[in-house]
Structure 1
Amino acid sequence: MSQAGVRPQGRRFVRWQLEGGRNTAGEAPRVSPAQYKCQNCPGYCCSYPLIPLDKRDVERLARHHHLSYEDAKKAFTKEEHGRKYAMRRKKDPVFGKICRFFDTTQRSCTIYTARPAVCRSFPGGGRCGYYDFLSFERRAQEDDKFVALTNHDD
């Protein structure tokens, strides 16, 4: 945050992010406690059209699966959406397509300890927009298993 306690805008915001998002006192910004439960979600974030990876993610997946880097890259990634590494996806009865490592029966991640950086940091704050939407719809439908859908054509 800036000295006035307001997050910088524009180019200053980009520089602020690149510098680790630290305020002028060198402190990391406070993140509010999580107000969502991933275990209660059907895996919406795992169904995004792009799950971006970097080289370290591929290396982590290779170690996890006891594969060479090249074999892991070939098996788990593809170039897509302008990215060198994007997670391969598979069919899903709920969202159409989903991360190849998502268990579509249990609705959970099968590589949680080796999950990519983007998954480790998601949603990046104390709230998850989809979880708020899902919770609202489940209350409105009076059905705690209801799956609220959105359309993200890919």
Structure 2
Amino acid sequence: MNKLDNFDLILLRELQRDSRQSAEQLTAKIALSTTAIQRRIKRLRDEHVIVAEHAVLDPKALGRSLTLIVAVSLKIGRASINEQFKSTMMAAEEVQQCYAVAGDQDFILIISVMDMYEYEVLTHRLFHSNEAVQKFHTTVVMETVKVGLQIPVPIAVD
């Protein structure tokens, strides 16, 4: 992978803010030609600095008004059990994020559902019927203050 220069970093910052910006729009913010910006974006994708680009949807517009944070503890910490749990979480579309963590819990999940009934059904499918799950603790999100996947991009000052 090539070392990232300030042009790359500024470009990454802009693309994180809005990946729909055209190369022409980016030239107004970055002192590079349209062609140079297009080449850099291609290189950043090829080198897996940019790993994906997604549309961010409003959950409420889709009837998914309930967000839950769930801490899960497994009974046994064997690698095969952890891998099976991760696979199950990857396959569950209601699980938006899944983190393997250190501490009292093994996993932290962010879950999006329509209502408590849907969550109850989901808990039976993901946790109660899974013999590896020792316990889980649910926190209901009352208000979404900030959601994002943006990584702070430092820009070197000359």
TM-score range, shorter chain: under 0.3
Greater share of residues in strand = 2
Could you state the TM-score of these two structures normalised by the residue count of structure 1?
0.22
1 or 2 for the larger relative contact order (CA 8 Å, sep ≥6)? 2
Q: Higher Cα Rg: structure 1 or 2? A: 2
